[in-house]
Amino acid sequence: VVRALTGVEFVRPTEADYDALITIVDEWWSGRPVRRLLPRLWLRHFAGWSWLARVNGDRLVGFAIGFLSPGLPGTAALHLLGVDPNHRRRGIGRDLGRRLADDAAAAGADRIEMVIPTGDQVALGFLRAIGFAVVADPDLRPIHGTPAHADYDGPGEDRIVLARVLVP
């Protein structure tokens, strides 16, 4: 257990944390159905690439899940990162992002990637604030004011691909 922010503990999850996590995610994403992006396999197989933020011993206030890409050498990915709406703007998100970046660098990655839906200004603002930038690509076109990939995740599912360069 590492203490950084006052009163917040950062711990590795285990699969046993899944039930607590899955019940709160849709609420943290303001009703966006994020639950479907979080089947149990993430905590079963990627717990060692994940972090939980807790207060008062066991109250979950944030989480991040990532992995080292098996297919793209040197690339890690941030799958999901969320913070309890009552604990935002305290630096918990930034700390979770830093922990994943440290894990990625320790595993030999030189970049960490994240894909977000177009129009998600909160995620975009947060990711830019913690050092991510839109990945250059000839296929990019402006969608809701940001260079994005049309139909990236299938018809109508436009996405912004961002990456943060990891300094060894």
Ligand X SMILES: CC(C)(COP(=O)(O)OP(=O)(O)OC[C@H]1O[C@@H](n2cnc3c(N)ncnc32)[C@H](O)[C@@H]1OP(=O)(O)O)[C@@H](O)C(=O)NCCC(=O)NCCS
Q: Does 51 bind ligand X (CB under 6 A)?
A: no
Q: List the x/- string, 83-112, binding to ligand X by CB under 6 A.
A: x----xxxxxxx------------------
**Six-digit token string for 121:** 């200004």
DSSP H or E segment with residue 10: strand 9-11
Q: How far is the CB of 4 from ligand X (least distance, A)?
A: 11
Q: Is 159 in the site for ligand X (CB under 6 A)?
A: no
Is there binding between residue 66 and ligand X (CB under 6 A)? no
Handedness of CA 133, 143, 89, 107 (dihedral sign): negative
Asked whether position 35 contacts ligand X by CB under 6 A, the answer is no
Residue recorded with tokens 């807790």: 54
| Residue in the shown chain whose Cβ atom is closest to ligand X | 93
Task: Say which residue the tokens 């000839």 belong to.
Answer: 138
Tell me how far apart the alpha carbons of residues 139 and 30 are, in angstroms, rounded to a whole number.
31
Tell me how many residues contact ligand X (CB under 6 A): 20
What is d(CA 18, CA 33) in angstroms, rounded to the nearest whole number? Answer: 17
- Strand, helix or coil at 134? strand
* For ligand X, the closer CB: 68 or 124: 124
Nearest residue (CB) to ligand X, 17 versus 93: 93
Q: Which residues bind ligand X (CB under 6 A)?
A: 28-29, 81-83, 88-94, 114, 116, 122-123, 125-127, 129
